[in-house]
Amino acid sequence: MHNPFVPETLEGWSVLHLMYRVRWDRLRQHPSRDRERMAAEAVQALAVPDAGSTAFVQVLGHKADLMFVCFRRGFEPLAQAQLALSRTELHDALDATSSYVSVVELGMYEMTAKIHEQLGAKYKPGSDEFEQAFDREMEAQRQRVMNRLFLDLPKARYVCFYPMNKRRGEALNWYSESFERRAAMMREHGMIGRTYAGKVTQVISGSIGYDDWEWGVDLFAEDPLVFKKLIYEMRFDEASAKFAEFGPFYTGLQFAPDQLDVYLDGGVPQLA
Protein backbone atom coordinates (compact mmCIF):
# COMPACT_ATOMS: atom_id res chain seq x y z
CA MET A 1 0.00 0.00 0.00
CA HIS A 2 1.30 3.44 -0.96
CA ASN A 3 1.60 5.77 2.01
CA PRO A 4 0.57 9.34 1.09
CA PHE A 5 2.99 10.74 3.71
CA VAL A 6 6.05 8.97 2.30
CA PRO A 7 7.48 10.48 -0.91
CA GLU A 8 7.86 7.98 -3.72
CA THR A 9 11.24 7.48 -5.38
CA LEU A 10 12.36 6.29 -8.80
CA GLU A 11 15.53 4.21 -9.01
CA GLY A 12 18.20 3.83 -11.69
CA TRP A 13 21.85 2.75 -11.72
CA SER A 14 23.21 0.74 -8.81
CA VAL A 15 26.35 2.52 -7.63
CA LEU A 16 29.51 1.35 -5.87
CA HIS A 17 32.23 3.74 -4.74
CA LEU A 18 35.58 2.09 -4.01
CA MET A 19 38.32 4.18 -2.38
CA TYR A 20 41.92 2.99 -2.13
CA ARG A 21 45.30 4.14 -0.89
CA VAL A 22 48.13 3.17 -3.26
CA ARG A 23 51.07 1.25 -1.80
CA TRP A 24 53.74 3.11 -3.75
CA ASP A 25 56.47 1.17 -1.97
CA ARG A 26 55.18 -2.00 -3.60
CA LEU A 27 54.69 -0.44 -7.03
CA ARG A 28 58.23 0.93 -7.11
CA GLN A 29 59.50 -2.62 -7.01
CA HIS A 30 58.02 -3.19 -10.50
CA PRO A 31 59.49 -1.84 -13.75
CA SER A 32 57.38 0.52 -15.86
CA ARG A 33 56.32 -2.22 -18.29
CA ASP A 34 54.91 -4.26 -15.40
CA ARG A 35 52.97 -1.28 -14.07
CA GLU A 36 51.57 -0.72 -17.55
CA ARG A 37 50.40 -4.33 -17.67
CA MET A 38 48.89 -4.09 -14.18
CA ALA A 39 47.00 -0.94 -15.17
CA ALA A 40 45.63 -2.58 -18.32
CA GLU A 41 44.45 -5.59 -16.31
CA ALA A 42 42.68 -3.34 -13.77
CA VAL A 43 41.01 -1.29 -16.50
CA GLN A 44 39.76 -4.47 -18.13
CA ALA A 45 38.39 -5.70 -14.81
CA LEU A 46 36.30 -2.54 -14.46
CA ALA A 47 35.20 -2.42 -18.11
CA VAL A 48 31.49 -2.71 -18.80
CA PRO A 49 30.52 -5.25 -21.48
CA ASP A 50 26.90 -4.10 -21.93
CA ALA A 51 25.39 -1.36 -19.74
CA GLY A 52 27.00 0.95 -17.23
CA SER A 53 30.25 2.84 -16.74
CA THR A 54 33.13 3.38 -14.33
CA ALA A 55 34.60 6.72 -13.29
CA PHE A 56 38.32 6.76 -12.48
CA VAL A 57 39.25 9.51 -10.01
CA GLN A 58 42.57 10.66 -8.55
CA VAL A 59 41.59 11.76 -5.05
CA LEU A 60 43.18 14.80 -3.41
CA GLY A 61 44.19 14.60 0.24
CA HIS A 62 44.95 11.75 2.64
CA LYS A 63 41.61 9.89 2.64
CA ALA A 64 42.42 7.98 -0.55
CA ASP A 65 44.56 8.06 -3.66
CA LEU A 66 42.15 6.45 -6.10
CA MET A 67 38.37 6.24 -6.27
CA PHE A 68 36.45 4.07 -8.70
CA VAL A 69 32.75 4.85 -9.13
CA CYS A 70 30.92 1.95 -10.72
CA PHE A 71 27.48 2.46 -12.30
CA ARG A 72 25.79 -0.84 -13.11
CA ARG A 73 22.33 -2.31 -13.69
CA GLY A 74 22.01 -4.07 -10.35
CA PHE A 75 24.02 -5.40 -7.45
CA GLU A 76 25.12 -8.55 -9.30
CA PRO A 77 27.18 -6.55 -11.83
CA LEU A 78 28.56 -4.45 -8.94
CA ALA A 79 29.66 -7.64 -7.20
CA GLN A 80 31.29 -8.83 -10.42
CA ALA A 81 33.21 -5.56 -10.79
CA GLN A 82 34.43 -5.56 -7.20
CA LEU A 83 35.51 -9.19 -7.40
CA ALA A 84 37.22 -8.74 -10.77
CA LEU A 85 39.25 -5.81 -9.46
CA SER A 86 40.18 -7.68 -6.27
CA ARG A 87 41.70 -10.49 -8.37
CA THR A 88 44.04 -8.21 -10.34
CA GLU A 89 47.74 -7.86 -9.64
CA LEU A 90 47.32 -4.13 -9.05
CA HIS A 91 44.96 -4.83 -6.16
CA ASP A 92 47.92 -6.25 -4.22
CA ALA A 93 49.27 -2.67 -4.14
CA LEU A 94 45.96 -1.11 -3.05
CA ASP A 95 44.65 -0.71 0.50
CA ALA A 96 40.91 -0.13 0.75
CA THR A 97 40.11 2.98 2.81
CA SER A 98 36.36 3.24 2.30
CA SER A 99 33.45 2.28 0.07
CA TYR A 100 29.83 3.21 -0.51
CA VAL A 101 26.80 1.32 -1.85
CA SER A 102 23.73 3.13 -3.20
CA VAL A 103 21.19 3.38 -6.02
CA VAL A 104 20.58 6.45 -8.19
CA GLU A 105 17.37 8.01 -6.92
CA LEU A 106 14.93 10.72 -7.93
CA GLY A 107 12.70 11.98 -5.13
CA MET A 108 9.05 12.57 -5.98
CA TYR A 109 7.73 14.92 -3.30
CA GLU A 110 5.58 17.08 -5.59
CA MET A 111 4.50 14.21 -7.83
CA THR A 112 3.60 11.92 -4.90
CA ALA A 113 1.08 14.43 -3.55
CA LYS A 114 -0.33 15.13 -7.01
CA ILE A 115 -0.80 11.46 -7.88
CA HIS A 116 -2.52 10.70 -4.57
CA GLU A 117 -4.85 13.65 -5.08
CA GLN A 118 -5.73 12.79 -8.66
CA LEU A 119 -6.23 9.08 -8.11
CA GLY A 120 -8.02 9.64 -4.79
CA ALA A 121 -10.77 11.43 -6.71
CA LYS A 122 -11.33 8.31 -8.84
CA TYR A 123 -10.59 5.36 -6.56
CA LYS A 124 -10.80 4.55 -2.89
CA PRO A 125 -7.29 4.98 -1.38
CA GLY A 126 -5.87 1.59 -0.49
CA SER A 127 -8.14 -0.32 -2.86
CA ASP A 128 -6.74 -2.67 -5.50
CA GLU A 129 -7.88 -0.26 -8.21
CA PHE A 130 -6.06 2.63 -6.56
CA GLU A 131 -2.86 0.66 -6.07
CA GLN A 132 -2.83 -0.61 -9.65
CA ALA A 133 -3.49 2.85 -11.07
CA PHE A 134 -0.77 4.28 -8.81
CA ASP A 135 1.76 1.73 -10.04
CA ARG A 136 0.87 2.48 -13.68
CA GLU A 137 1.35 6.21 -13.12
CA MET A 138 4.69 5.69 -11.38
CA GLU A 139 5.90 3.55 -14.28
CA ALA A 140 4.83 6.27 -16.71
CA GLN A 141 6.80 8.81 -14.67
CA ARG A 142 9.79 6.48 -14.65
CA GLN A 143 9.78 6.18 -18.44
CA ARG A 144 9.78 9.99 -18.74
CA VAL A 145 13.00 10.35 -16.72
CA MET A 146 14.95 7.28 -17.82
CA ASN A 147 17.81 9.48 -19.05
CA ARG A 148 18.20 10.87 -15.52
CA LEU A 149 17.94 7.48 -13.80
CA PHE A 150 20.41 5.85 -16.18
CA LEU A 151 22.49 8.88 -17.10
CA ASP A 152 25.70 8.69 -19.09
CA LEU A 153 28.85 9.17 -17.03
CA PRO A 154 29.51 12.93 -16.98
CA LYS A 155 32.78 13.71 -18.76
CA ALA A 156 33.77 16.48 -16.37
CA ARG A 157 37.28 16.85 -14.99
CA TYR A 158 36.45 17.39 -11.32
CA VAL A 159 34.47 15.12 -9.01
CA CYS A 160 33.18 15.53 -5.47
CA PHE A 161 31.46 12.77 -3.49
CA TYR A 162 29.95 12.87 -0.01
CA PRO A 163 27.30 10.98 1.96
CA MET A 164 24.62 12.71 4.01
CA ASN A 165 21.68 12.20 6.36
CA LYS A 166 18.55 14.05 7.32
CA ARG A 167 18.74 14.79 11.06
CA ARG A 168 16.68 12.54 13.36
CA GLY A 169 17.42 14.14 16.73
CA GLU A 170 15.10 14.77 19.65
CA ALA A 171 14.70 18.47 18.91
CA LEU A 172 14.85 18.36 15.11
CA ASN A 173 13.65 15.29 13.23
CA TRP A 174 13.15 15.48 9.47
CA TYR A 175 10.90 12.43 9.47
CA SER A 176 8.50 13.87 12.04
CA GLU A 177 7.87 17.01 9.96
CA SER A 178 4.63 17.07 7.97
CA PHE A 179 4.69 15.99 4.35
CA GLU A 180 3.79 19.52 3.26
CA ARG A 181 6.65 21.08 5.25
CA ARG A 182 9.17 18.59 3.89
CA ALA A 183 7.93 19.14 0.34
CA ALA A 184 8.23 22.92 0.72
CA MET A 185 11.79 22.67 2.06
CA MET A 186 12.84 20.32 -0.72
CA ARG A 187 11.31 22.68 -3.28
CA GLU A 188 13.47 25.52 -1.91
CA HIS A 189 16.49 23.22 -1.89
CA GLY A 190 15.91 22.21 -5.50
CA MET A 191 15.53 25.80 -6.70
CA ILE A 192 19.09 26.55 -5.61
CA GLY A 193 20.39 23.54 -7.51
CA ARG A 194 18.62 24.65 -10.69
CA THR A 195 20.56 27.92 -10.72
CA TYR A 196 23.72 25.83 -11.27
CA ALA A 197 22.32 24.00 -14.30
CA GLY A 198 25.01 23.66 -16.95
CA LYS A 199 27.77 24.22 -14.41
CA VAL A 200 27.49 20.99 -12.43
CA THR A 201 25.95 17.55 -12.85
CA GLN A 202 24.52 16.23 -9.60
CA VAL A 203 23.86 12.53 -9.07
CA ILE A 204 21.82 11.69 -5.97
CA SER A 205 21.80 8.07 -4.86
CA GLY A 206 19.75 6.54 -2.06
CA SER A 207 21.52 4.31 0.46
CA ILE A 208 18.97 3.74 3.24
CA GLY A 209 19.32 0.07 4.10
CA TYR A 210 22.51 -0.23 2.02
CA ASP A 211 25.16 1.80 3.83
CA ASP A 212 25.86 3.92 6.91
CA TRP A 213 24.36 7.14 5.54
CA GLU A 214 21.02 7.81 3.86
CA TRP A 215 22.14 9.37 0.58
CA GLY A 216 25.26 9.72 -1.51
CA VAL A 217 25.91 12.82 -3.62
CA ASP A 218 28.23 12.89 -6.63
CA LEU A 219 29.03 16.22 -8.27
CA PHE A 220 30.79 16.56 -11.64
CA ALA A 221 32.03 19.93 -12.94
CA GLU A 222 34.68 21.60 -15.10
CA ASP A 223 35.48 24.10 -12.34
CA PRO A 224 36.01 22.80 -8.78
CA LEU A 225 34.97 26.18 -7.33
CA VAL A 226 31.41 25.28 -8.31
CA PHE A 227 31.37 22.60 -5.60
CA LYS A 228 32.22 25.11 -2.90
CA LYS A 229 29.75 27.73 -4.09
CA LEU A 230 26.85 25.28 -4.58
CA ILE A 231 27.23 23.46 -1.27
CA TYR A 232 27.83 26.71 0.63
CA GLU A 233 24.70 28.33 -0.82
CA MET A 234 22.59 25.26 -0.14
CA ARG A 235 23.60 25.27 3.52
CA PHE A 236 21.56 28.44 3.99
CA ASP A 237 18.27 26.83 2.96
CA GLU A 238 16.11 25.41 5.75
CA ALA A 239 16.40 21.76 4.71
CA SER A 240 20.18 21.91 5.02
CA ALA A 241 20.57 24.47 7.81
CA LYS A 242 18.31 22.59 10.21
CA PHE A 243 18.26 19.00 9.03
CA ALA A 244 21.36 18.08 7.00
CA GLU A 245 24.29 16.07 8.36
CA PHE A 246 27.30 15.51 6.13
CA GLY A 247 29.84 12.70 6.00
CA PRO A 248 33.41 12.82 4.66
CA PHE A 249 34.05 14.59 1.36
CA TYR A 250 36.15 13.05 -1.42
CA THR A 251 37.33 15.47 -4.10
CA GLY A 252 39.50 14.72 -7.07
CA LEU A 253 40.23 14.66 -10.77
CA GLN A 254 38.45 12.30 -13.12
CA PHE A 255 40.70 10.71 -15.73
CA ALA A 256 40.38 8.42 -18.71
CA PRO A 257 40.83 4.71 -17.90
CA ASP A 258 43.69 4.41 -20.37
CA GLN A 259 45.56 6.99 -18.27
CA LEU A 260 45.81 4.70 -15.23
CA ASP A 261 49.32 3.61 -16.25
CA VAL A 262 50.36 7.29 -16.41
CA TYR A 263 49.20 7.70 -12.82
CA LEU A 264 51.04 4.57 -11.67
CA ASP A 265 54.20 5.98 -13.30
CA GLY A 266 53.90 9.18 -11.26
CA GLY A 267 52.16 11.48 -13.74
CA VAL A 268 48.87 13.33 -13.34
CA PRO A 269 46.41 11.41 -15.53
CA GLN A 270 44.27 13.36 -17.99
CA LEU A 271 40.60 13.01 -18.89
CA ALA A 272 41.06 13.25 -22.65
Domain boundaries, the chain: 13-104
CA 220 to chain centre: 11
Nearest to 253 by CA among 100, 52, 65: 65
Place 233 in a pLDDT band, splitting at 50, 70 and 90: very high
Q: Does the annotation count 162 as an active-site position?
A: yes
Tell me if the domain spanning 13-104 has CATH number 2.60.40.1250: no
DSSP states of 73-108: SSHHHHHHHHHHHHTSSGGGGEEEEEEEEEEEEEEE
Distance of CA 229 to the CA centre of its chain: 20
Q: What is the pLDDT of residue 232?
A: 96
With a cut of 80, say whether residue 4 has pLDDT above it.
no
pLDDT of 95 higher than 90: yes
- pLDDT tens-digit map of 246-261: 999 999 999 999 999 9
pLDDT at 5: 80
Q: What is the pLDDT of residue 34?
A: 97
pLDDT for res 113? 83
Catalytic residue among 109, 162, 250, 263: 162
Q: What is the CB neighbour count within 10 angstroms for residue 121? A: 7
Q: Mean pLDDT for the chain? A: 95
Torsion angle of the four alpha carbons 195, 197, 203, 208, in this order, in degrees rounded to the nearest 10 = 20
Q: What percent of the chain has pLDDT over 90?
A: 87
